[in-house]
Amino acid sequence: MESVFKFMFRLCLAGVLTVTVGLFLFGVARQVVTDQLANITDAILAKNNARQDAKSSKVLQQKQANDSAAQEARESAALNRQRRQAFYDQYEAPEGCEVYQSDRHMVECVNHKMRAKRAFESSFEQAAVIGQSEPPNMIQYSGTRNGGQ
C-alpha cells in the first residue's frame, strides 16, 4: 500500500508541478502578448498623431495661402481703384466731347479716351518698373477739336 501511496503522491506532485509550470508559462505568454499589443497600439497612435499633425499643418498652410491670396487680391483691387481714380482725376476730355455731335464724333471721343487710358496705363507700368511713385503725364489729344467735322 505504501508504494501505491508513493505513486499517488508522485502523481499529485507531478500534476501540481505541471499546473505550476503551465501557469508560469501562461503568465509569461500573457505578458509577451500584452507588451506586443502595447507596442502595436503605441505605433498606431504615433502614426495617427503624425497623420493628424500633417493634416493640421496642411490645413494651416492652405489657410495661410488663402489669406495671402485674399490680401494680394485686396491690394490689387485697391491699386486698380487708385489707378482708375488717378486716370479720371487727370483726364480731360477734348473740347466738344461733352455732347456728341454725331456717331463718328462719339467714336473719336471714345477712342481718344481709350488711347489716353492706354498711354496712362503704359506710363504707370513704366513708372512701376523704374520705381517712381507717380507716372509722368503722357496723355495728349491726338484728334481734332471739333470731332472731325
Same domain, 142 and 99: yes
Q: Counting Cβ atoms within 10 Å, is residue 108 exposed (0-12), middle (13-18) or buried (19+)?
A: buried
Same domain, 98 and 123: yes
For residue 132, pLDDT over 70 is answered with no
Spell 77-90 as b/e; 16+ CB within 10 A means b.
eeeeeebeeebeee
Confidence band, pLDDT 50/70/90 cuts, at residue 142: very low
Tell me the pTM: 0.47
Same domain, 114 and 56: no
What is the per-residue pLDDT for 149?
38
Q: Which domain holds residue 51?
A: 1-90
Same domain, 17 and 67: yes
CA pair distance 142, 124, nearest whole angstrom: 20
What is the per-residue pLDDT for 98?
87
Could you say which of 69, 90, 111 is where a domain stops?
90
Same domain, 37 and 70: yes
Same domain, 86 and 108: no
For residue 24, pLDDT over 50 is answered with yes
What is the per-residue pLDDT for 134?
54
Same domain, 96 and 86: no
Span 85-130, pLDDT tens digits: 989 999 999 988 988 999 999 999 999 999 999 999 888 777 777 7
Helix ranges (H only) for 91-131 are 103-130
Confidence band, pLDDT 50/70/90 cuts, at residue 138: very low
Same domain, 80 and 99: no
Q: What is the number of domains present in the chain?
A: 2
Same domain, 15 and 25: yes
